[in-house]
Amino acid sequence: MGRFIDIGKAFEAALFSGDQEAIRQTMHPDMAYEMLGRPPLGGRFEGREQVIASFENREVGLGPGFEYEQISRDWSEDAASGKVFVEIYEKSWLAKYPDDLLIVRTCSVLTFKDGKIISIIDYTDSQAYAEFKERHAADIPKFAKG
């Protein structure tokens, strides 16, 4: 496996475990993240802290009762360009509503500088996340009103 893929996988493992310090260690200080679609889920986020904060509205930040299954995750690396490509197919759901699935296909492009991730572009459907959040805001503690 390539060196950049190893860093990308370390980033992902830290993201899924919620280890913000390990996430920071994989990121270049000038890190930028872009997810296609409109804010607050979509948009461009610049700087490590803003990028880390942007992940709080995705599966990894939704808290207890949120289930996840990876269907496939294929990594490839172009070391000459300093890029890693990850094709992701996954589904998520609230344990309370196992039949209401959030099914997402994503292609992420990670670019590296000085051995750190300097940018990630997620080609995914942020609208799917927004609609799921809208349907279940009352069931996700961080989005519940009151």
CATH code where residue 47 lies: 3.10.450.50
pLDDT band at 78 (very low <50, low <70, confident <90, very high): very high
Q: Which domain holds residue 106?
A: 3-137
Would residue 146 count as lying in a domain?
A: no
What CA–CA distance (Å, rounded) separates 78 from 87? 14
What CA–CA distance (Å, rounded) separates 20 from 36? 23
Number of domains in the chain: 1
What CA–CA distance (Å, rounded) separates 88 from 111? 17
Would residue 143 count as lying in a domain?
A: no
Higher pLDDT, 139 or 60: 139
Q: Which of 106, 58, 62, 111 is nearest to 84 (CA)?
A: 111
Please, are residues 110 and 118 in contact by the beta-carbon 8 Å criterion? no
When the pLDDT of each residue in the chain is averaged and rounded to a whole number, the result is 87
Would residue 142 count as lying in a domain?
A: no
pLDDT band at 98 (very low <50, low <70, confident <90, very high): very high
Would residue 122 count as lying in a domain?
A: yes
pTM, rounded to two decimals: 0.85
pLDDT over threshold 60, residue 90 = yes
pLDDT over threshold 60, residue 61 = no
Give the single-character DSSP code of 137.
G
Q: What share of the chain is helix, strand, coil (3-state, %, to 5)?
A: 35, 45, 25
Output the pLDDT for position 8.
96
- What confidence tens digit (pLDDT) does each residue in 13-56 have? 998 888 889 999 999 999 999 988 877 778 899 999 899 888 77
Backbone angles phi, psi at 128, to 5 degrees: -60, -40
Residue 40: cis peptide before it, omega within 30 degrees of 0: yes
Give the single-character DSSP code of 118.
E
Would residue 145 count as lying in a domain?
A: no
Would residue 144 count as lying in a domain?
A: no
What CA–CA distance (Å, rounded) separates 5 from 8? 5
- Over range 134-146, report the average pLDDT: 73
- Over range 82-110, report the average pLDDT: 93
Would residue 7 count as lying in a domain?
A: yes
Q: Which of 12, 34, 50, 26 is nearest to 112 (CA)?
A: 26
